[in-house]
Chain A
Amino acid sequence: SAVISQKPSRDICQRGTSLTIQCQVDSQVTMMFWYRQQPGQSLTLIATANQGSEATYESGFVIDKFPISRPNLTFSTLTVSNMSPEDSSIYLCSVGVGASYNEQFFGPGTRLTVL
């Protein structure tokens, strides 16, 4: 298993500003993922972040809006840039472990409200 922590747990931000969310894992993992969960919705994958390579973004998400860093095997950051109220969501960090990374563990999430 993997224990994941995120900072901040929640924040209220003004439109046009940026917020960086940190994700820390208690063990070394190759595959990390960032998800967004809008109110009442299920999770949507933003990007896959593997250590040592550029993040891979899903359709509808771009690096300029959601830059990701993955400096080592236990840490990653997601920045939500130039925020608008539509960015209000829960942002979740996740790691893949096990054979073919089939098992996924999730962080507690960061609840972002943009005014």
Chain B
Amino acid sequence: KNQVEQSPQSLIILEGKNCTLQCNYTVSPFSNLRWYKQDTGRGPVSLTIMTFSENTKSNGRYTATLDADTKQSSLHITASQLSDSASYICVVTSNTGGFKTIFGAGTRLFVKA
């Protein structure tokens, strides 16, 4: 069964600290993995997208890694800011002759001053 599992479910960190969010998936065949940031009451905004051959991608203070062998990804946030408080959603796309996207439940990050 195609699944995307994220951990932790929620996380509280102090402003300026780093954190790492995890994503494990069982989706096959794999096409790409994306991380989105979703502010409360807003639609998700893409942070990174990685294909099978990519194992790291950065977008400012956000760095995503992908291990296609173990089917794991992580999103590392450096020097967190209050505006980083949001839900972070891992999304995996499968190219099964169509276009199937499986969403993780998200990690809710709270950054405190």
Contacts and interface: CB of A to CB of B under 8 A. Distances in A.
Interface of A: 4, 31, 41-45, 48, 90, 92, 94, 96, 100-109, 111
Contacts of B89: 42-43
B43 A92 contact: yes
Interface in B29-84: 31-32, 34, 36, 41-46, 49
Contacts of A108: 42-43
Contacts of A111: 41
B interface SS class: strand
Interface residues on B, range: 20 to 34
Contact of A104 (B34, B42, B105, B106): B34
B103 A43 contact: yes
Interface of B: 31-32, 34, 36, 41-46, 49, 89, 91, 93, 95, 99, 101, 103-106
Given A42-B89, A42-B105, A102 B49 contact: yes
Given A96-B99, A102-B99, 9 more contacts: A43-B44, A43-B89, A90-B41, A102-B31, A102-B95, A103-B46, A104-B46, A104-B91, A107-B43
Nearest to B95: A100
B25 to A, nearest CB: 13
Contacts of A31: 99
Contacts of A90: 41
